[in-house]
Structure 1
């Protein structure tokens, strides 16, 4: 049987992917592509609360988890490029696919989302009147928290983050098991953007262990209870 060379096969694969109309771009490339596209339509598919805390300039906020997402996107021009982003990339991937399925010809999805964009210190807009009233941990409160002579395990989460929700029972169990021995605190990412930016947090869930003001350990994603216990026990 005659076999096709590997290179042509790869070329055919790439062509088929490009034809799908959905392209994933790193934050910096996303920025450059957007700035060089005069008719580009920029879509923020996060919740209103997230959008209020900071967003890309001139972006339109349509929550992809909302029931009216498809209807609202009908106001966009299907013949013009659409640039999509969320917080970390999962929701924007879903939105981009839905846009392509609905006939949009050219859709660019930002890899890593707003977390990667803001951690790279790329320009953002923030509507102070929208963000008013959102709780935030002050720098002084944070410093007091991590200054404890007991291990302090911080869990950064968001209510829309599925892995964060999966880790919550583990955090609750650790809180009970180490009562009086260690401090276990869950911090809402959406309500503490200034803090997470200072800590260079660009993915969640993420876990930080402090003692006497020093960062001793950093973990990320879905993790077993055993690993948390090992790191806490080692620093009691």
Structure 2
């Protein structure tokens, strides 16, 4: 049986309408993210980190709405869902979760900065500052003076892969005799992350005679890490 033309036309319009309402989350490299922001007139830019992180450093004209705060949804509701919204955090974990929530709440055009502030700084986009947060590069280089191999583990307490890796890395710190393992909190050493161009967490750097022999970003199993050491 042939369907009436009016009914077919209705289905076609419904299909177009549904596709037009589809929410999109687009990840952007920091440079592209910056250029997109500059092309907007008064962009909706939210920093979903904690107030302390925000006070230490944030992008110009960003509004701090803490993803882990109790009032995240309440504050987001005040924003304009018909306009693009730009989201970032420290390294990408919280902004990814926040972007998904924004899509659920009806925001249709969402731009997320890949790698967050960590990658922003490593890309050379941060404003120059004389303020040092945490260890200096000179102090870091002193840690590398050793006859043993040195494994530096940059981590953060909120980073899921970091938390998963912590038990066996701390165990290796005690058990391995040929390698000195040093864990450095990324949040407490932001200047160092910028100097070393660390773009992701966790990041592992293996040194021999003060030279990097191996670098890994992201999760790595205990078995694979042991093989590298």
1:3 aligns with none
Measured at CA, do residues 215 and 18 of structure 1 come closer, stay the same or move farther in structure 2, by a change above 3 Å?
farther
Separation (CA, whole Å) in 2 of partners of 1:24 and 1:138: 32
Q: Retained in 2: the 8 A contact 1:21–1:107?
A: yes
1:169 aligns with 167
Q: Gaps (5+ residues) in structure 1?
A: 1-11
Of residues 117, 122, 131 in structure 2, which corresponds to 1:119? 122
Separation (CA, whole Å) in 2 of partners of 1:196 and 1:22: 27
Of residues 25, 28, 33 in structure 1, which corresponds to 2:31? 28
Q: Structure 1 length as normaliser, TM-score?
A: 0.80
Measured at CA, do residues 73 and 124 of structure 1 come closer, stay the same or move farther in structure 2, by a change above 3 Å?
farther
Matched, 1:37 2:37: no
CA shift, 1:140, in A, is: 2.9
1:57 aligns with 60
Secondary structure in structure 2 of the residue aligned to 1:66: coil
Q: Retained in 1: the 8 A contact 2:147–2:209?
A: yes
Separation (CA, whole Å) in 1 of partners of 2:116 and 2:68: 16
Secondary structure in structure 2 of the residue aligned to 1:19: coil
2:186 aligns with 189
Secondary structure in structure 2 of the residue aligned to 1:191: coil
Secondary structure in structure 2 of the residue aligned to 1:230: helix
Secondary structure in structure 1 of the residue aligned to 2:148: coil
Separation (CA, whole Å) in 2 of partners of 1:113 and 1:16: 29
CA shift, 1:144, in A, is: 1.3
Q: Gaps (5+ residues) in structure 2?
A: 1-14
Give CA-to-partner distance per residue, 1:78-121, whole Å, 9 cap, x none. Answer: 33321111122232122122222223333222222222222111
Measured at CA, do residues 111 and 174 of structure 1 come closer, stay the same or move farther in structure 2, by a change above 3 Å?
same
Measured at CA, do residues 196 and 30 of structure 1 come closer, stay the same or move farther in structure 2, by a change above 3 Å?
same
1:138 aligns with 136
Q: Structure 2 length as normaliser, TM-score?
A: 0.82
Q: Retained in 2: the 8 A contact 1:88–1:111?
A: yes
Secondary structure in structure 2 of the residue aligned to 1:109: strand
Matched, 1:102 2:105: yes
Q: Retained in 1: the 8 A contact 2:49–2:90?
A: yes
Give CA-to-partner distance per residue, 1:148-202, whole Å, 9 cap, x none. Answer: 11111111000110000001011111111125x3211110011111111111110
Q: Which moved more, 1:203-212 or 1:111-120?
A: 111-120
2:69 aligns with 66
Separation (CA, whole Å) in 1 of partners of 2:20 and 2:185: 37
Give CA-to-partner distance per residue, 1:2-37, whole Å, 9 cap, x none. Answer: xxxxxxxxxx9xx94983143332322221211111
Across the aligned residues of Structure 1 and Structure 2, the Cα RMSD in angstroms comes to 2.5
Secondary structure in structure 1 of the residue aligned to 2:187: helix
Q: Retained in 2: the 8 A contact 1:56–1:125?
A: no
